[in-house]
Structure 1
């Protein structure tokens, strides 16, 4: 058992959101992608939808922050949208900066800490035209943006996330083809993109830490933890082989290896792997885990679930134990862990969103179990506050605690708002007690 310092140990509870998914934006890689079509002439986005202003968070942030606080939250995770801040290269938008100041002030006024993501899948169109993260030379452009945001907001934000799910962006953008630039089966490009994002994290971490006051803030990164497996050993041949490659592409091993040793190794079938070696161990103050479930695949490569399990709308089954497994796996890095996203897609055929409660009953105890077992998990952030734009799924996938439908700005609380608020009210103190007990056992 580690020697646990409980004096300054706090457990964060709250909701998570990305500003683009709740407020949209123009002249970005995603706003351009929403207008493109596949090689077969079909829209990439479900039902040919556009994000637009989504649920209008940019203008209704005060009321939505009050909703977040009503959950008994002590934090709110959200993103700074680079495209709003720097719509043209080297030209910061003063109005957007002031709006973010107002948002952060509002969060803090409600007694919550802002947990801020610098990059949540979206970047300015000018950065895309320069090659984005496919070009190693562009890493410094991200670093300059990160430093500018720290200098502007560092007095109000003490917990910074450089990237949300770099492995997902690489996989979806260059292997699966569901994110811009929508390439398929290009693992060499996926590896390069993933590698450059991790290098950008390291460069931004070092740059922020070198700024005045930089040693007093925490800088981390968020990884989406997902495992693929055959539904039955009878199909373990070609299905197991495919699941093995999917797991390697998803990036957990790359995250563990890179932040443990500075070594990056991304396998490429029938070709040389993408490699990189840092000169020193990359900086990391904490690791965020996004976890929703596991993916079980049958012999037709269709996602399925075991008898008795519950399929979500993503589609993959609820599997609470995987959250504990992910926390345990990422704990190998030896830094604090925060569950920065977890929730359930629940709408189709269930107008009461009944899976929400089953999710709470099976996932949240796994967080307690992790803390009880001495794993340094320090927070849980529910995805998401309000129904939003879920990337290629458009508005068809519903994760929100508050229901919202396009065309209406009305927010309707689901029954689980009260259930989660009750849990959050006692969780920070309860988790501290559990941690103290585990430290002395």
Structure 2
């Protein structure tokens, strides 16, 4: 099944059409914090009672954010570590709060630091993949209403212009937003992110609508600038599904909740918007609250980012669980590689290149990491063998960091790091499965497809590694 791709954008041909990108993904805020410059910094230290069940200051876990693992100062060391595990690409975020701490005032030191990060990547032959908004924005923007107000979209567009004017010649792959559905659900319905509302479905829909409008506006603004025609500008979506553990009458309320969770957070709203340009937001009892179609039709998007970890399974008591035989991670979901393939297959209908922009596992014991890595990578290789246009794979994440509302309790890093100083960037044994895949399998996309096809025919006995030993 050979699938041809079409671009919904107006950019030039994909500059990475012959290369498979493999690397790690980080959020600069999660790895560095920012001394109270952003919405998340203020939120994590606030006394507002609805910050994830009142877990204030330290969020979850006994350690305050501090500088996290301090990528901001140790960027050169960490980019070298990414190179050491076999990365040829590095996904990171621009922190708007650091760049523009006060409206209209750009911090030259922050600009300089990002140039230094890009210098470090270039020296090692690592392709940057930059995200403009990874859940964080300046406090001044939040205080103006953030994305709750449509008129504030222009602030984001101008920020996009500032970043692209400065860095556009150095970066080809751009994402406007990371997981806008996750952001809006956690911030306005789940009370697990700033501004920390519970059950505000109506505002959540308005915010998501404005974020998607901001994607379109920023896309066009960046494309209109010098060098814009060569930029590849995409959107990163959290591919997550929700399922009831049972099917009897006790599970009916769970199935109802799972349906709405998948609608708001998972797939339905963004999928319809991508295919038609129409944004539809529904709320229980109220019905359709927002319905607006872009007169220009489908949104512009040069590539699609797939953030996939697993599916969420709930029992009749609304407790997270898994099905029989599934291995649970430290987070609220099991290892589920089938979902990776399904996310790729479903996303392929957009007709644009796909990148696995995040996938990983929280595994404090390091006894499941290699299983997750090999099974998920196999799913991606199977998709390549079946003709799906997947161009890259980013593991989340390089070093243990501050995992939003659950703090330092989740260990996603290839490298172990402890807030108490007991461990600092120690490569985990389970991480070596990814190192072997990255360093052994070819970077060339066509060669990797050939390996995937042959391995698929052989029943995936070795993930294609034997031919490259």
- TM interval, shorter chain, is over 0.9
Deviation at 1:428, TM superposition (A): 4.0
Q: CA deviation at 1:43?
A: 2.4
Q: Are residue 253 (structure 1) and residue 268 (structure 2) matched?
A: yes
Once the two structures are superposed, what CA deviation does each residue of 1:69-95 show, in whole Å capped at 9, x if it has no partner? 011111000001000000000100000
Alignment of 1:195-234 (within 5 A): 195-234=209-248
TM normalised by structure 2 equals: 0.89
Segments of structure 2 that go 5 or more residues without pairing to the other structure are: 6-12, 458-469
- Give the superposed CA RMSD: 2.0
Say yes or no: does 1:328 pair with 2:340.
no
CA distance in 2, matches of 1:428, 1:340: 19
* CA displacement 1:289-339 (0-9 Å, x = unmatched): 111111111100111112221111112111011001011111111111100
Look up the match of 1:382.
Answer: 395
Shift of 1:9: 2.7
Give a deviation string over 1:181-200, Cα, whole Å, max 9, x none: 11111111111111110000
CA positional deviation for 1:438: 9.2
- Whole-Å separation in 2 of the counterparts to 1:360 and 1:415: 12
Aligned residues of 1:387 and 1:402 also touching (Cα < 8 A): yes
- Residue of structure 1 equivalent to 2:39: 29
Q: 2:54 — aligned with what?
A: 42
Q: Which residue among 66, 69, 86 is the counterpart of 2:80? A: 66
**Secondary structure in 2 matching 1:46:** coil
Cα contact 1:262–1:278 (8 A) shared by 2: yes
Q: Are residue 154 (structure 1) and residue 163 (structure 2) matched?
A: no
**Offset of residue 210 of structure 1:** 0.6
Mapped pair 1:185 → 2:199:
yes
- Displacement of 1:20 after TM fit? 0.3
State the shift of 1:38 in Å.
4.9
- Deviation string, structure 1 residues 331-356 (Cα, Å, up to 9, x no partner): 11111110000000111xx2xx1111
Alpha-carbon distance, 1:418 to partner: 2.9
1:350-390 superposed Cα distances (whole Å, 9 cap, x missing partner) = 2xx11111101211100001111111111000000000000
Q: 1:279 aligns with which of 277, 295, 300?
A: 295
After TM superposition, the structure 1 = structure 2 runs for residues 276-425 of structure 1, keeping only pairs within 5 Å, are 276-280=292-296, 281-347=298-364, 350=365, 353-408=366-421, 410-425=424-439
Range 417-426 or range 286-295, more displaced: 417-426
Length, aligned pairs only: 436
Q: Provide the TM-score with structure 1 as the length reference.
A: 0.95
Cα contact 1:346–1:356 (8 A) shared by 2 = yes
CA distance in 2, matches of 1:133, 1:30: 15
Q: CA deviation at 1:401?
A: 0.5
Answer yes or no: is 1:134 the counterpart of 2:148: yes
After TM superposition, give the deviation of residue 51 of structure 1 in Å: 1.9
Is 1:117 aligned to residue 131 of structure 2? yes
Give the distance between the partners of 2:211 and 2:62, measured in 1 at CA.
Answer: 30
The 5-angstrom pairing of residues 13-28 of structure 1 reads: 13-25=22-34, 26-28=36-38
CA apart distance, 1:236: 4.4
Structure 1: 5+ residue runs without aligned partners?
none
Q: Which residue of 2 aligns with 1:238?
A: 253
The answer (yes or no) to whether the contact 2:277–2:294 under 8 Å persists in 1 is: yes
Counterpart pick for 1:267 among 262, 275, 282: 282
> Quick one: structure 1 residues 224 and 108, their matched pair in 2 at CA, closer, same or farther if it must change by over 3 Å?
same
Verify the 8 A CA contact 2:190 2:197 in the aligned structure 1.
yes
Instruction: Indicate conservation of the 8 Å contact 1:256/1:332, yes or no.
Output: no
Question: Contact 2:24 / 2:87 at 8 angstroms: preserved in 1?
Answer: yes
**What displacement does 1:437 show?**
8.7
Using the TM superposition, give the Cα deviation of residue 47 of structure 1 relative to its aligned residue in structure 2, in angstroms: 3.3
What's the counterpart of residue 86 of structure 1? 100
